[in-house]
Amino acid sequence: MRNIFRCFVVFILIQPNCLQKKAVAQACSDKSATAAAQKLYKNLFALQDKYTIFGQQDALAYGVGWRYIAGQSDVKLVVDDNPGVYGWDIGGIELGDKKNLDSVPFNLMKEYIIGGYERGAAVTISWHARNPLTGGNSWDTTHGTVRSILPGGTKHDLYKTWLDKVAGFMNDLKDKNGESIPILFRPFHEMTGNWFWWCKNASTPDEFKAVWRFTVNYLRTEKKLHQLIYVYNTADFKNEAEFLACYAGDDVADVLSFDLYQHGVEEASRTYFVNNLSRQLDLLCKIAATKNKMATLAETGLEAIPDPTWWTGTLWPAIKDYPISYVLVWRNHGFMKQENKMHYYGVYPGQASEADFKKWYSFPQVLFEKKIKKQNIYK
């Protein structure tokens, strides 16, 4: 009896909390988010329990052996459908460059983004920004770079001009009615790595959090961008504490994610990747559930996919049990002269894993553009 009474009291005490949690669930962290951004977030969030959307970086701009052919993507050449998530990178926008760091002209990128949105797909943007302290590239890990762009830092004013350019780009992404296109924005990605100037070897977690918060607030408050859905993104991480070490707060992040690639095709590398991926997805999804945030695998892949059953035999078994919104593979650059190797992560006609990709495409839980369109994610 006493126990029943205690349960009842506990239920009464917990109930309002649950209700409150439900009420704030699946809302953008930006209280003034545009209607389209709110709908996109809510819809992607709702879909993640049942489906995983396939995404690819730069898919519409080029593929293996071709560049800038209107309406083409390597994925489309194989399955007659496009990715349901399009990834783009605005590295270079900060200096007013005409092309991004991988030579994609920004004016074309804008057209591809608008086209993808109009066909009902989602759009995510990363930013391989130059090093504002040294003028080097993103991979220049000079210590103190993050500190230099914080308020009071020597490059703070410069950094604000960079954000102005980012805002200018985002503001050019409008639909037919002049409404801003919602973007899953993923700045300062893979910060648990050691290769970018914002990574953990080159800045402290407090500096990182401060720059993240400054960036979000500046874009939201000064530049009045309310179409952005912020994607927090780590590289490899061991545990929850490491995943959240640079997390600046629930009010400035919407999606929790990490990037993980398979390196090497031999069984040991494959097993390591599968185990590591599942372990981190498990952690990610638990953290995301506690915070009521969407989860995603923001980048993955096996370079040049030498494994003919990689999609259904490796990737899918590792991710299928986790409620992640989308999985994005990196760009199909093709042959890299400097490194004398093939650099691509998606299929193209004749690629070793083509048949397996077609098989994966037919899985009902995997969504590409045609099915995503039917889901009306902006409505």
Whether the CB-CB separation of 104 and 98 falls below 8 Å is answered with no
Give the footprint of ligand BMA on this chain (CB under 6 A). 89, 101-102, 128, 330-331
CA distance 297 to 158: 32
Q: Where are the alpha helices (DSSP H) in 119-198?
A: 145-149, 156-171
- Using CB atoms within 10 Å of the CB of residue 308, give its burial: 0 to 12 exposed, 13 to 18 middle, 19+ buried: middle
Which of 99/371 has CB closer to ligand BMA? 99
Which of 147/189 has CB closer to ligand BMA? 189
Whether the CB-CB separation of 330 and 284 falls below 8 Å is answered with no
Which of 92/153 has CB closer to ligand BMA? 92
CB 57, min distance to ligand BMA, A = 7
Which of 302/377 has CB closer to ligand BMA? 302
Indicate the SS3 state at residue 312.
Answer: helix
Indicate the SS3 state at residue 112.
Answer: helix
Which of 196/360 has CB closer to ligand BMA? 196
Q: Are strands 326-329 and 294-302 parallel, antiparallel or unpaired?
A: parallel
Which of 48/126 has CB closer to ligand BMA? 126
CB 308, min distance to ligand BMA, A = 23
CB 275, min distance to ligand BMA, A = 23
Buried b (16+ CB within 10 A) or exposed e, 47-83: bbeebbbbbbbbbbbbbbeeeeeeebbbbbbbbebbb
- Pull the structure tokens for residue 188: 């300062």
CA distance 123 to 114: 9
CA distance 347 to 349: 7
Which of 55/120 has CB closer to ligand BMA? 55
